[in-house]
Structure 1
């Protein structure tokens, strides 16, 4: 099926939430939604209605409609199954089927819709998976917020510098004013008393000369204090307001760092890891792992995407050569605008319409892949957490990790072990790496900067109050610059003459859910 759009609308056709999955103009989707109520006829028990170009599949929700707009060539049975899943999502986030409630939860619904359908095609997900995916942390959102905080701090710093610059200009203006007063005073004394260039003129010019010399030597602005009001200095008062605001944040317990420190800390995030070329390729994977505390993998899923960003319109007509040497059953799907025959025959990504270039100045997802397994041998990192009651109201806990895939290098690894609510800080007896007690979340965080084949395993022992069930689920987070699936970009060539095109590439693997329960 090809799903064009999904919407929650009123009986009159007013759209409360609308999500388009293919390129459509705003006027087009508004026209389709406005035409839907006019096609409804009384006395019919159908849940779909068709026009010459599209099919409306709908389900009443009290005074609202859950509406899907598909092509007429789509399978009506698949449409109805997808509609049922959409209809089950609405009560998941809205307590009542009222317009105000739907509008309040609009973004949550849109995020859930995106998990059901991608690029117009239904994803193989259920309601529980959708709930989990929507609740996941977004790496892109964290980066955006961090960059925005850095920009705000830099703006405050520039504001202070601008205030100082205005202060210096004000001092210079006062200097020039004092010089002008010196000259005018000298002229009055010289010409007013003697009436010409007489013998008294030299003595009358002496005081102004001394005044000019004094102003010239006095070059440090802080020693000159303006007597009158200064409107230009009001920006400085705003800088003081910023300082007081920062002091207030500190008094409330917020951690505030200086602009220099924040920029240095944010440098690894906002600075590109590679020199970005006119053709830039990003290959990213998200890992979801759920395993049991007694061993055994319940489910593991890896979803990957290849994004293409072209900053120069002259490089729009290209083909990307991708090598897939993974022996595991990896499901690969190309964008509808990509030539599937070209991909199947020689593993190249090119536009289906040869005279149409790739979009520029935007991230275009052209290839997606997915692998799902319950085989223990495919887990990149195994965790063994063993709590044992010590007879004193607590447990002696031993937790160990082991890098199963020795070809991978895991970075910024954090292993979070929950503790019993209200329990005192644990006593760590032995730890390879760093550990931290998170009082706010009542958890023990184990941090390992790098896990690779040189140090594939390590353990930590600690004693804490609580029962064995209190130390689960154990959550793991890490990143890697090596993909789990063995897909590589070999090169980029021009479609006109086959000449190689310079490109840059970024590769990132990160965890979305990694739990041992």
Structure 2
């Protein structure tokens, strides 16, 4: 048999990796591979196809194709064995816990080419090897490299320690200089009020003199001063300063007129405007921080085995509510914090998931999942990673039905000769409760600060970004609808799009749950925690 090339392509025919084993030009290989997607057609009965000059043997692998190009005189049975061996090798050389996708193939391209070279020699003949033998042949260990790396790491750690000690030393010196300078300046100001002035350098020099007395140059009126009289005068000055600070009104910034002027100036700048819940229109920093932090109302107490069923929504629809694209991307994420519970099997509980495309992680035992809906590693001795989250199950749903979206948004800019009135409405649709809802509406830079007419929630205008920010803490069945109305200078309706929306919820679309978690070897049952989270990856309302 003669194998010309081993290649990995995506479903659209893009070449991710190709290894040739005979003398052949790159243009010829690209020509053969570009013709492959047109040859396979829709038939699923065969895994090979022939042309006048070559034979293609292929096998689907997740969303990819593994393709072997051979001569027509090659033994098709042996070639199929070679194809199956290569398909077994590919997941073994991907990064640990990586998905079988384009990014992983490109990242592991060097290792895959080395493995292919062990299976097929130069000339296109198959080597008599299996998966374990290929592993042994491709493993490379160099004692010199290990020693060089150890020396390099040791030097880096030593350099970091030296830099750390030097930084601490400079910090201490700087702190001491600042303290000494401050002490001299304070003493100089005190002496200036009592005796006519003294510099910090003079004070530092005086600290080294005996306590019996010293004389200041140019201060003949006062003569000699001993340390006791100096201390008493310092105490008097200190008491004067303290009493003045307590008895007087001090630097008070109070006064309603000044405060109103500051607020008015801020409003003219467009930083903050009036909201429905506040007369001044200024939200406290604490409220802003709460809006930035996504906190569910009932946080789950995490066990050593914790699951998160998370879904991200990607949606684009126009201002009339017509959906352009709507996709839900779900992940079942596992996080193990106890190494004793890493070797486990997860018994899932699935509801109606026929409309979803469900896919397991490449290292999950697919036969076990298909037969009993149990998630377990193909090699149970390896165990799941400890301390880092891992997506073990994915699902995907696309739809164009308006009743499926969580939140419907309608935006109605009405332009006249003197102003533009913008009315935005929302309505809860498929999800029963949404939290931390934020709707951002762009405003033309040429327009003035928007004037609020009415809002359900909180209204803020950010002049720097040119965005109207509409925040609603919760939308549920008790109040599923709301609206915002504001006025600005005349502007085209298209300038108020796209409208961006973000929110979170503890309700998801996929009907998935965890029934139990058991050990892979002893079937002992472990406690686990489970939570659901719905977020937005991109939720846009465009003009058309």
Give the structure-1-normalised TM-score. Answer: 0.51
* Contact 1:39–1:49 under 8 Å retained in 2: no
Conserved? CA contact 1:3–1:120, under 8 Å? no
Q: Aligned equivalents of 2:452 and 2:286: distance in 1?
A: 31
The CA distance in 1 between the partners of 2:344 and 2:31, in whole Å, is 42
Displacement of 1:328: 5.6
Q: Is the 8 A contact 1:406 1:453 kept in 2?
A: no
Report if aligned partners of 1:282, 1:307 keep a CA contact under 8 Å in 2: yes
Does 1:405 pair with 2:458? no
* Residue aligning to 1:366: 392
Summarize deviations over 1:101-136 as a string: whole Å, max 9, x none: xxxxxxxxxxxxx9xxx711469xxxxxxxxxxxxx
- The 2-side partners of 1:471 and 1:269 are apart by 27
Give the CA deviation at 1:329. Answer: 0.1
Give the aligned CA root-mean-square deviation in angstroms.
4.7
Equivalent of 1:298 in 316, 324, 341: 324
- How many Å apart are 1:284 and its aligned residue? 1.5
Deviation at 1:163?
7.0
Say yes or no: does 1:453 pair with 2:477. Answer: yes
Q: CA deviation at 1:403?
A: 0.5
Q: Does 1:443 align with 2:440?
A: no
1:498 pairs, out of 518, 523, 527, with 523
Shift of 1:303: 0.3
Which residue pairs with 2:505 in the alignment?
A: 480
Partner of 2:74: none
Distance 1:337 1:43, change over 3 A: closer
Q: How much does 1:498 deviate?
A: 2.8
Task: Report the CA distance shift for 1:472/1:3 in structure 2 as closer, same or farther (over 3 A).
Answer: farther
Once residues 292 and 319 of structure 2 are traced to their aligned partners in structure 1, the CA distance between those partners, rounded to angstroms, is 38
Q: TM-score, normalised by structure 2?
A: 0.49
Paired residues, what number?
315
Distance 2:7 2:437 in 1: 39
Q: Which runs of structure 2 are paired with 1:344-423 in the superposition (5 Å)?
A: 344-389=370-415, 391-407=416-432, 409-423=433-447
Matching residue of 1:230: none
1:440-486 C-alpha deviation (Å, 9 max, x unpaired): 22221111011111211111111123122222221111111222222
Counterpart-to-counterpart distance in 2, 1:417 and 1:292: 14
C-alpha contact 1:419 1:443 (8 A) present in aligned 2 = yes
Q: For 1:333-386, what per-residue CA distance to the aligned partner results, in whole angstroms no more than 9, with x for missing partners?
A: 001211222222332211123444223233221100000000111011001111
- Offset at residue 401 of structure 1 (A): 0.4
What's the counterpart of residue 46 of structure 1? Answer: 29
Computing the radius of gyration from Cα coordinates, the structure with the larger value is 2
1:387, CA displacement in angstroms? 1.8
Q: How does 1:77-476 map to 2 (within 5 A)?
A: 119-121=99-101, 273-326=299-352, 329-389=355-415, 391-407=416-432, 409-464=433-488, 465-476=490-501
Local SS of the residue matching 2:340: helix
In the alignment, is the contact (CA less than 8 A) between 1:275 and 1:504 conserved in 2? yes
Query: 3-state SS of the aligned residue for 2:411?
Result: strand
Deviations 1:179-209 (A, max 9, x none): xxxxxxxxxxxxxxxxxxxxxxxxxxxxxxx
